[in-house]
A and B are shown apart, each in its own frame.
Chain A
Amino acid sequence: MALSQKSNGASSDGHLMIDLRDVHKYYKTAVDDFHALNNVDLQIHAGEFVSIIGKSGSGKSTLLNMITGIDRPSSGEVFVNGMAVHELNENKMARWRGRNLGIVFQFFQLLPMISVIENIMLPMDFCRMYSMREREKRALELLEIVELSDHAYKLPTALSGGQQQRVAIARALANDPPVVIADEPTGNLDSKTAESVFALFNDQVAKGKTIIIVTHDSGLAKRTHRTALIADGEIVNEYVARAMPTLTREQLLQATHDAVAKNYAAGSMIIAEGTDADAFYIVTKGTVEVVLPRPNQSDVIAVQLGPGKYFGEMEFFHEKKHRASIRASEHTPVEVLAIGYDRLSELLNQSEVTRDALHQFADLHEAENIRKRGGLS
């Protein structure tokens, strides 16, 4: 089963900017077809700052190529800002890309034979954006933003790696595209320079741009709005990753595969207290409420759990009967991922750390449950 990764509510006030639907990508090799992307669904909203992380060869760049139209999916659909990118021919794609996407490459990819400012003006020339006079003015403004206006008329080779990457960012912003996509933008930079580049991205997000970066740096990834973890061409559900961060990528992918999505209308009951427990749940959308009964037969909401939070772990480690009722919040519908105890057991057998961590939380929640029930009585 495939799981989609949808943006959380935190930045969903923007419209859907990027929408990948059931995307597969195969490459022919001397041996057989290589499945580079497998059943990928990814939704990113306007104004989000998303990082894509994964090991080398996991499919990060292929995923990025799908979004930028640099490559086409073998099957599935890719929409960017409402445009069916997978349907564009190479020529239309180039023009569309020039106006709608800014791309920042790991190795900067500045044209070495023309000056820094010419590199920035090139996308404007190709896409005939802005008047001739405005192009230079805008390029200088962009260089001002990346603090390189003093180097405008130098050749790129005269600049340091960090400076070149900032020029590449300025070039990516040349046509004022709504989306900027960066492939390992800090991969070749020292930490201080990487920090300044990251700050630039943050500024752009603040101005409403949608930024997607591919990075190896999990520390950097954590500072984005959300992270898409990719392993073996598939996107690991970020809520699974949040719930069990100590699992390896392969284990997370396994967990993603094992998880079954369940949707509940607002206010509907998900689990009733006292019933047999058979699954571990991770909230992916909306808010669930843990409800405890009052002596007067009324309920009290003991705790609210948002995306990334989980329940059902106490029952896994202790008595296999639900210790509280859980229902969808009255305000929003809820989506949860359910992982059967047998599958969870298999996963935890592979990761003692996760088992211990989950056990600790189970004990903590159990104690809390008892405390709250005691408080109620």
Chain B
Amino acid sequence: MTSRWKKVWADFWGSKGRTILTILTIAVGVLAVGFNNNMRLFMVESMDGDFLSSNPSEAMVYAYPMDENSVKIARQVAGVDAVEGKSIIAANIVMEGRDEIRIQFTAIENPNTLTVNTLKPALGETGIAVPGEKEVLIDSSAASLGFKVGDTITVELDNGKIRKLRLAGYLHSATGYPYNLTRQVTAYVTLDTIVWLGGDRSFNALAVSVSEKQTDTDHVTEVAQAVADRIERSGATVDFVYINQPGHHYAYTTAQAMFLILGVLGWLTVLLSGVLIVNTITALMSQQTRQIGIMKAVGGRGTQIFGMYVVLIFFFGLGALAISVPLANNAAKTIGDGMAAWLNFFPAEYHGYRSTLVQQLIVALAVPLLAAWIPMYDSVRVTVREALTDYGIKGAVKRKEKKVSRAALLIPRPMRLSLRNAFRRKARLALTLFTLVLAGAIFISIYNLWASFDQVIHDIQGYFLADINIGFNRGYRLERVSSAALSVPGVSGVEGWLEYPGTIVSENKDEAGRQIMFVAPPSNSTLIDPIISAGRWLTTGDENAIVVGNQIQSIFPGLKIGGTMKIKINGRETEWHIVGFYTIVGNPDVPLAYVNYEYISRIIGQPGIVYALRVITTEHDSATQNRVNDQLQALLESRGIHVTDARLGADFVRDQTAQTDIFVYFMLVMAAMIAIVGGLGLMGTMSINVLERTREIGILRATGASNFDIQSIVIVEGLVVGLISWMISIVVSIPITNILAYGVGISMLQAPMPVVYGTTGIVAWLLFTIVLATVASSLPAQRASRLTVKDTLAYE
């Protein structure tokens, strides 16, 4: 190795502090990109791999009654690949000391011979036990309930009967919903057992798999609706058609939204890291100016010297790769495995991803080189004379006419020194501020996004204001159920609601209609607070008035206020006047349309009959809700009214929050990474500033400055920079919050989320900034205070 390459190596290896700082700066960006990309690829590969290997159905058609003949009819519909009839019923698991847990049973003869929505052995198992009489198999996502194979599971049927089943084993249903997200256990029993559980040998659902365009929602909907039409014509009553992200794992869209956010944050981290690299390399080159001058003086050409620094930066990049590649792989695998367990899919074998490595190579090698190109070029272009004379304290400083204002003199002199130092290298300050501001703005925006999620939940809650929502197995007279409910202590009011399926009639007679669900609160309901985007809400006396949501609007964009819709109910075509549009984020299984209870109950011939009861309690805390719910259910059961579903308002909020919090945690991790980049940036800047001012520090020392004085000057400078960045980041967070709320809303909830500007993020970032600035400045400050007068004044 020639001596110039030895110099490169010495620059790399000799200044370990600087090298580590530079490598870390690059490594953060490489890690962010690597982790995000690996996570995305690993999760998509795992999710889709697991999901598609189960030969998933793209649609479920819920209708009753159906038999093998219905399955045959469905199979004949154009575009259908496979159909399997299902007999499904739901009940509640009764566990001592716990709330009832919903369990959904699907009848199967042999879990190993399914052709659609196939089942797999649970993780670590080699096979699935075939359930016998009164035995049940449950999805392994419900293993957290603590049941062991052989245990008896007690369930209460919707008719109030108690049944005991033996747990035959766990299995993995890649196409089912996991317990931890839905609070519903997916279970499988034999046909005989389902009959014993109150079910029916006839089917009540068809799992439909289409032959092509499995991921095309429109195509799948068209085929599924055609199946529904044929089934209806064959004599069955279609409840609804359920299609959710056909061809993909149910968490696909959610995961994509998450990857989008993480990806954006990841590349922002790269941008920040790039800015930091510019700062670091500029400082490095500034430190090297004299050496460049010497090398030129002894015969080094610009291209030779430039090449040396290219190689040095290449080394930094390699260092960053060495840290970040394994870290990104391990983090993606570990967190990906955790996500797999959480979202109920089998993780694929983790093998790393070439495309990630390519991106990491680009970020580690090309980005620093690009970032460093101009500083390197400028430094290498410096003439020997400039290099050897224009370093450190400059000789020829422009005269400044400005005087220090009297007001400024009120600031303590060391503080003035800090303030002046902060603004001395304006380009460097600008780059540092850019990093910190962007980091801060993203940090604050993430907190705002968190608040937006809360707002969304709050908004959704507006549609579910009741403290307790109770569903019945059939329609009951309102007077009967309400008088029962009102007799329970703690109940202050009740409303009887109706939910009823309908089919929007397409203008094209050959086209299948679109399933919707009427939700009918009483016209004077106080338990709904909708977000009306246009028109008005329902009023007392409205007859065929309908308020449709953004989901229906997106399917039928031609709908207008004052317009009409034809909806088939029980095979009869009815006409509805659109009086308003409501907005709800999220994607319900079936689009909901609100109508007055009084009117629709007449239309369906069940006036005064309710299928659901919305209960208001005197106190709205979780304990009261639980207590009243227990008493209410007991009373209703005692009066022969069978409750199929009871959900507390508090549970609803908890479940919703659990789903959004995971995003926020991920984003906070990214925000922390960005904050680390910001901290590194500030530390780098402060280190460089201290280095450049070594001689000045010597002068301060010589004039009597103590360790504390020197450290204070440096730390206050860091704090000044941090606080300036904090103030600017508040402003910059506004557009970023808007973009995030829109992007995340559209990709995750199919509607823009409300924008919330909270103070939590601002305060948190302020505290973080103060800590960050203090910590980032402390090391350089300590270094500065260790310098002796002799060292500093001899510094060249």
Residue of B295, B300, B303, B304 contacting most chain A CB atoms (<10 Å): B300
A132 to B301, CA, bound (A): 19
Q: Are B290 and A109 in contact (CB under 8 A)?
A: yes
Contact at B388–A98, with CB atoms within 8 Å? no
Docked-complex contact B4 and A122, CB < 8 angstroms: yes
Give every chain A residue within 8 A of B566 (Cβ-Cβ). none
In the bound complex, do residue B396 and residue A113 qualify as a contact, i.e. CB atoms below 8 Å apart?
Answer: no
Q: Which residues of B are found within 8 Å of A99, using beta-carbon distances? A: 299
- Assuming the contacts A29-B396, A107-B796, A122-B3, asked whether A98 and B383 have C-beta atoms less than 8 A apart, the reply is no
Q: Is the CB of B4 within 8 A of A126?
A: yes
Asked if B14 CB lies within 8 Å of chain A CBs, one says yes
Closest partner residue, chain B, to A172 (CB atom)? B298
Beta-carbon contacts under 8 Å, A116-138 to B: 118-119, 121-123, 125-127, 132, 135
Contact status A97-B297, CB under 8 Å: yes
Residues of B near A115 (CB, < 8 A) are: 6
Please provide the chain A residues from 285 to 326 with a CB less than 8 Å away from any CB of chain B in the complex. none
User: Closest Cβ of chain B: how far from A154's Cβ, in Å?
Assistant: 14
Chain A residues in 8 Å Cβ range of B7: 111, 113-114, 118, 122
Query: Would you call A121 and B388 a contact (CB within 8 A)?
Result: no
Q: Does B201 contact A (CB under 8 A)?
A: no
Q: Mark B723-744, 1 if CB is under 8 A from A, else 0.
A: 0000000000000000000000
B6/A126 in contact, CB under 8 A: no
Q: Is the CB of A70 within 8 A of B299?
A: no
B383 to A126, Cβ gap below 8 A?
no
Interchain CB contact (< 8 A) of B3 among A91, A121, A127: A121
Q: How many angstroms from the CA of A109 to the CA of B299 in the assembled complex?
A: 14
Pairwise interchain contact B297-A126, C-beta atoms closer than 8 A = no
CA distance A90 to B398 in the complex (A): 27
Minimum C-beta distance from A15 to chain B (A):
23
Contact partner of B302 (CB less than 8 A), chosen from A94, A109, A132, is A94
The distance from the CB of A282 to the nearest CB of chain B, in whole angstroms, is 35
- Please give the distance in Å from B312's CB to the nearest CB on chain A: 11
A64-115 interface (Cβ within 8 A of B): 65, 68-71, 90-91, 94-95, 97-99, 103, 105, 107, 109-111, 113-115
A119 to B295, CA, bound (A): 10
Q: Contact partner of B300 among A110, A113, A121, A126, CB < 8 A?
A: A126
Inter-subunit contact B4/A125 (CB<8 Å): yes
**Known A-B contacts A111-B291, A119-B3; A175 and B388 likewise in contact (beta carbons under 8 Å):** no
Q: Which residues of chain B come closer than 8 Å to A98, judged between CB atoms?
A: 298-300
Is B540 among interface residues, defined by CB-CB distance under 8 A?
A: no
Q: For the complex, is A10 an interface residue (Cβ under 8 Å from B)?
A: no
- Enumerate chain B residues within 8 angstroms of A1, measured Cβ to Cβ: none
Contacts A114-B3, A118-B7 hold; do A94 and B299 have CB atoms under 8 A apart? yes
Interface size class of B (residues with CB under 8 A): 20 to 34
Cβ-defined contact, A171 with B298, below 8 A: yes
Smallest beta-carbon distance A336→chain B, Å: 38
Asked if residues A91 and B302 are in contact (CB atoms below 8 Å), the reply is yes
Q: A179 an interface residue at 8 Å Cβ cutoff?
A: no
Of A30, A118, A135, A174, most B-chain CB atoms within 10 Å: A118
Given A107-B796, A109-B290, A118–B6 Cβ distance below 8 Å?
A: yes
The answer to whether B298 touches A30, judged by C-beta atoms less than 8 angstroms apart, is no
- A101 nearest CB across to chain B (Å): 9
Whether B2 sits at the interface, judged by CB under 8 Å, is yes
Interface 1/0s, chain B 373-401, versus A by CB < 8 A? 00000000101110010000000111100
Q: Collect the chain A residues with CB atoms within 8 Å of residue B303's CB.
A: 91
Query: Once the chains are docked, how many angstroms separate the CA of A252 from the CA of B753?
Result: 86
- Chain B residues whose C-beta falls within 8 Å of the C-beta of A123 in the assembled complex: 298-299
Cβ of B294 < 8 Å from any Cβ of A? yes
Identify which of A69, A91, A122, A135 contacts B298 (C-beta below 8 A).
A122
How far does the alpha carbon of A68 sit from the alpha carbon of B387 in the complex, in Å? 14
Interface 1/0 per residue, A127-158 and B, CB below 8 Å = 10000100100000000000000000000000
Q: Which of B602-624 contact A (CB under 8 A)?
A: none
CA distance A68 to B294 in the complex (A): 13
- Bound-state CA distance A95–B399 (Å) is 38
Distance from A136 Cβ to chain B, minimum over Cβ atoms (Å): 10
Q: 1/0 per position for B197-212, CB-CB distance to A under 8 A?
A: 0000000000000000
For chain A, the bracket of interface size reads 35 or more
What does the 1/0 interface line of B491-528 toward A look like (CB < 8 Å)? 00000000000000000000000000000000000000
Query: What is the CA–CA distance of A120 and B300 in the complex, to the nearest angstrom?
Result: 13
Quick check: is B296 within 8 A (CB to CB) of the other chain?
yes
Distance of B747 from chain A, by nearest CB (Å): 51
Given A65-B385, A118-B3, A119-B3: A111 touches B294 (CB 8 Å cut-off): yes
Distance between Cα atoms of A65 and B291 in the complex (Å): 17
Contact between A71 and B298, CB atoms less than 8 A apart: no
Pair B11/A113 contact, Cβ less than 8 Å? yes
The interface residues of chain B lying within 8 Å CB-to-CB of A125 are 2-4
Nearest to A97 among chain B residues (CB) is: B299
> CB-defined interface of B1-31 with A at 8 Å, one 1/0 digit per residue?
0111011001100110000000000000000
Q: Which residues of A contact B298 (CB under 8 A)?
A: 97-98, 103, 122-123, 126, 171, 174
A220-259 Cβ-contact flags toward B at 8 Å (1 or 0): 0000000000000000000000000000000000000000
Which residues of chain B come closer than 8 Å to A29, judged between CB atoms? Answer: 396
Q: Which residues of chain A are near B300, meaning CB under 8 Å?
A: 94, 98, 122, 126
- Across the interface, name the chain B residue whose C-beta is closest to A124: B3
Which A residues lie within 8 Å of B14 (CB)? 113
Contact of B388 among A70, A110, A135 (CB under 8 A): A70
A175 touches B301 (CB 8 A): no
Which residues of A from 165 to 200 have beta carbons under 8 Å from B? 171, 174-175
- Chain B residues with CB under 8 A of A118: 3, 6-7
Q: In the bound complex, do residue B304 and residue A126 qualify as a contact, i.e. CB atoms below 8 Å apart?
A: yes
B396 and A109 contact, CB distance less than 8 A: no
B2 near A132 with CB under 8 A, answer yes
Shortest C-beta distance, A71 to chain B (Å), equals 4
**Contact call B299/A126, Cβ cutoff below 8 A:** yes
Residues of chain B lying within 8 A (CB to CB) of residue A68: 297, 384
Task: Please state if A30 and B301 are interface contacts (CB–CB under 8 Å).
Answer: no
Q: Which residues of A contact B399 (CB under 8 A)?
A: 30-31
From residue B689, how far is it (CB to closest CB) to chain A in Å? Answer: 21
Assess whether B3 is in contact with A70, with CB atoms less than 8 Å apart.
Answer: no
Chain A min CB distance to B389 (Å): 9
Q: Which residues on the B side are within 8 Å of A91 (C-beta)?
A: 301-303
* Chain A, residue nearest B10 (CB): A113
- Which residue of chain A has its CB nearest to the CB of B5? A125
**In the assembled complex, how far is the CB of residue A64 from the closest CB belonging to chain B, in whole angstroms?**
10
Residues of A within 8 A of B396 (CB): 27, 29-30
Which residues of A lie under 8 Å from residue B290 when comparing CB positions? 109
Distance, CA A211 to CA B3, complexed state (A): 27
Whether A103 lies near B385 (C-beta < 8 A) is no
A95 touches B6 (CB 8 A): no
Shortest Cβ distance from B309 into chain A, in angstroms? 14
Which residue of chain A is the closest to B397 with respect to CB atoms?
Answer: A30
Neighbouring A residues of B296 by C-beta, 8 Å: 90, 94, 97
* Closest Cβ neighbor of B796 among chain A residues: A107
A71 and B398 CA atoms in complex are apart in Å by 21
Q: Find chain B residues with CB under 8 A from A135 CB.
A: 2
User: Mask for B274-296, Cβ within 8 A of A = 1, else 0?
Assistant: 00000000000000001101111
Give Cα A347–Cα B14 distance, bound, in whole angstroms. Answer: 60
24 contacts between A and B (CB under 8 A): A27-B396, A30-B397, A68-B297, A68-B384, A69-B384, A70-B385, A71-B385, A94-B301, A97-B297, A97-B298, A97-B299, A103-B297, A103-B298, A105-B297, A105-B388, A107-B796, A109-B290, A109-B293, A114-B10, A118-B3, A123-B298, A123-B299, A125-B4, A126-B301
Which 6 residue pairs across A and B have the least CB separation, nearest first? A98-B299, A113-B10, A118-B3, A123-B298, A70-B384, A126-B299
Given contacts A30-B399, A122-B7, 20 further A-B contacts (CB under 8 A): A27-B396, A30-B396, A30-B398, A70-B385, A71-B383, A94-B301, A97-B299, A98-B300, A103-B298, A109-B290, A110-B294, A114-B3, A114-B7, A118-B3, A119-B3, A121-B3, A123-B299, A125-B4, A132-B2, A174-B298
